[in-house]
Homo-oligomer: A and B are copies of this chain.
Amino acid sequence: MSFVEYGDTIQEGDTAIVFLGHESMFPVKVQHGSKTQTKTQILYSTDISLITMMLELKPGSIVCESGTGSGSLSHAIIRTVAPTGHLYTVEFHQQRAEKAMEEFREHKVEHLVTVKNQDVCKNGFGVSNMADAVFLDIPSPWEAIGHAKSALKVEGGRFCSFSPCIEQVQRTCLALEEHGFTEINTLEILLRVYNVRTISLQIPDLGKAAEDNSNPGFDSSNQANQGVMCGSQQQGTAQFKSGVPLREMVGHTGYLTFATKSLS
Contacts and interface: CB of A to CB of B under 8 A. Distances in A.
Interface of A: 166, 230-231, 241
A192 B231 CA distance: 26
4 contacts: A166-B166, A230-B230, A230-B231, A230-B241
Contacts of A230: 230-231, 241
A170 to B, nearest CB: 8
A227 B166 CA distance: 52
A5 to B, nearest CB: 27
Contacts of A241: 230
A231 B230 CA distance: 7
A50 to B, nearest CB: 17
Contacts of A231: 230
Contacts of A166: 166
A263 to B, nearest CB: 32
Nearest to A169: B166
The 4 A-B pairs of least Cβ separation, nearest first, read A166-B166, A230-B230, A230-B241, A230-B231
A124 B166 CA distance: 31
A231 B231 CA distance: 9
A230 B230 CA distance: 7
A23 to B, nearest CB: 24
A145 to B, nearest CB: 21
Nearest to A232: B228
A231 B240 CA distance: 12
Nearest to A240: B230
A11 B241 CA distance: 48
A88 to B, nearest CB: 34
A230 B231 CA distance: 7
